[in-house]
Every structure is written in structure tokens, then in C-alpha cells.
Amino acid sequence: MNTSLKRIGILTGGGDCPGLNAVIRSIAKPAMTFFNATVIGILDGFEGFVEGRMRELSHLDVSGIINLGGTILGTSNKGDPFHYPRESATGVTTADCSHIVLENYRRWELDVLIAIGGDGTMNIAYKLAQMGMNIIGVPKTIDNDLEATDITFGHDSALAVATEAIDRLQTTASAHHRVIVVEVMGRYAGWIALGAGVAGGADVILIPEIPFKWKTVFDFVRKRSKGARFSIICCAEGAKPEGGELVVKERDAKRTDPIRLGGIADLVARRIQEETKIETRVTVLGHLQRGGSPTAFDRILGTKFGALALQAASRREFGCMVSLRGRDVVTVKLEDAIRRQRLVPPDSQLLFAARAVGISFGD
């Protein structure tokens, strides 16, 4: 037993997703049981860290939560301590508040911080580790865009929601002989659109990694209208036409990434209806993909990630992130985890399989 591991901090940063509570549970329970440690839950991610908001977790707090979506600690994607947003007379400005995080870390006498989040959280964790904090990362994002792990928890749950939505839209599209464009999340990576599109039997999949041609999409829809008489288009929020730009819904200077994507499905639907005269509808899944109970896969993966993160802490293996490689959970250096985004590669076997069954990517 590592007797130096007495006070453990946990935070969940960035967007919420199913599986966060499974990770919190699998860190806190063994920490209390085997290390007799005090577990500090930092509220609302790094925003709460800067503002000094936390509470000690009890056994009761982390019992019966493995099946709950969201996070019992709260989260925020507007709390980057290195660019912390401040309201001023001239609008929103940012300040470096990382020293406040370090002060709170020392004031709370934490032996380690386990930061659960996506690429933004891992980038912040790496910088704080450089400042002397003992940090271990746990990879979370529905987008599945962290390079150093085969999959992030939360992705499978989002995929299940998007697939079920496409299943349901198939029947109504068929009944009314319509084109239905489904917009899914994923930001700059097409993993959700690709997986749900293949699993749900979409006819066209538009992803950020493959800019599409308008004419190719129009011609494909026209051809289907003469046979099957309906089409399902699964469109990633970061998809864009060849030579075109991302469709940005809004910009928020307080967010870690100020760009909020959204609206590409409306553009695609409008252009299809104008060019082909086929009735076209849009469904934007939005935050449905983040909500609800995690799948069994995400509950299991989250549990393994949390338990192994605590084990790494007990070995004093700081500055790392837990990662799934094949069937095993291992640790990788934080700098390797944030080196680049994990995007759909052009030689993806799933891309090949999708094209083999006749799915168009608009290229």
C-alpha cells in the first residue's frame, strides 16, 4: 500500500458524456477502501479549480452511479486556467490563472489530480504537470479524437444514440419518399458520422476528412429517388464542401475552443431541395448524443480507466494518461496524448467497407 497517497483530486472537464460517473466511481471507491484516502471532487472542471470550489466525496456519493449519465461533479468547457475568461467593460478578456490552480492544489494538499476529459483537458493537464503538479489523465470524448488511445469512453454511447436515430429516420424517410439529413457531433473528426452512418445504413456520409462535391451528392440522391425513393444522409457537424468553409453556428470567447459548429445539415438539405426538387428534411441530434445512460462498453471501459489511473498514481507514475491499446489499458505520456488529433485516416478499413456496400462520401 502506498501510504503517501492520502488526498486524491478528481475533476471532469470539457463537454459531458456518458461514462464519467463510472470513472469517478472506479477511482473513489478503491481509493477509500484500499488506501484509506480522502477523495476531493473538484466542481465544474477547471473553472471550479480556479474558483476554489470542491467537496469531499463519501462512499454514498459514489454508490449506484455507474449507470448515470452526466457527471456528479459538474463540468465546464469555459475554464481553461491559462486563458481564463473575465468579464470587463470592454467585453470578455482572458487572463492566466494557472497560479491560482497551483495554489488551490497545494492548499487542498492533493497528492495527485486525476483529470478526466478530452483533448482540451489533456492539454491543460500537460501544462500544469510542467508546473509541478502530479497529474494523471483519463481520456473522455464522444468525438473519439485523441490519438494516443484506440477509443475514448463516451464514444460508444454517442454512437448508439446516433445509430438508433438513423434507424428511426429510415422508416419515416421511406414512407414519405424523402431525403433526410441527420447532423451528428464530432467537431473536426468524422468518427461518429462514419460509425453511425455505417451501422444505421445511411446512403451518404459526409465527414470533415473528405470534402464533398455538391454535384456528386445531387446525382446520388437523384439516382436513389428513381429506385429506393428515399435517402438518408449522415452529416458530421465539421463536414464541408470541396473548396468551402466550416459552417460555424456561433463564436464564444469564453470557451476553450471558441468555435461552435452547427448548421451544415441545413445547408446540405436546402441545396439538395433546390437542385433536385426532392422533399428534404433535417434532424439535428445535438446534445442527445451526450445524454442518457452509458452503454455497457463505456461502463466497463470507464471502470478500467479509473482503476488503472489510481494504480498509476499509487506507483507515482505522474504526467501520463491511461489508454486502451488493443484489449489492454496502459499508460502513455501526456505529451504523446496531445501531439495530434485522431482523425479518420484515408486507409481506414471502415471507410473501405462503407464504400464496398455502396455508401457515398460525396467525393
State the helix-helix crossing angle for 191-200 and 349-356, rounded to 10 degrees: 40
Q: Strand 231-236: give its sheet, edge to edge.
A: 204-206, 231-236, 179-184, 280-284
Q: How many CA atoms lie within 13 A of 13 on its CB side?
A: 31
Nearest to 116 by CA among 191, 193, 4, 25: 25
- Alpha-carbon distance of 37 to 325, in angstroms, equals 29
Helix (H, G, I), strand (E, B), or coil: what is residue 125?
helix
What are the backbone angles phi and psi of residue 362, rounded to the nearest 5°?
A: 75, 10
Question: 115, 81, 125, 73: which is closest to 101 by C-alpha?
Answer: 81
What is the rounded distance in angstroms from the CA atom of residue 129 to the CA atom of residue 124? 9
Quick one: cell of 104?
A: 488551490
DSSP 8-class letter at 129: H
- For β-strands 248-251 and 204-206, DSSP reports them as unpaired
C-alpha closest to that of 306 among 121, 89, 29, 91: 29
Name the grid cell of 269: 438539405
119, 143, 156, 298: the active-site residue: 143
In single-letter form, the type of residue at position 14 comes to G
Q: Which amino acid is at 283?
A: T
Three-state DSSP at 234 gives strand
H/E stretch holding 294 reads none
Catalytic, 143? Answer yes
Displacement of CA 36 from its chain's centroid (Å): 32
Spell out the alpha helix ranges (H) of the chain: 20-34, 45-51, 98-107, 119-130, 155-176, 191-200, 214-225, 264-276, 296-314, 334-337, 349-356
Distances (CA, A) of 184 to 134, 144, 283: 36, 13, 9
Catalytic residues: 143
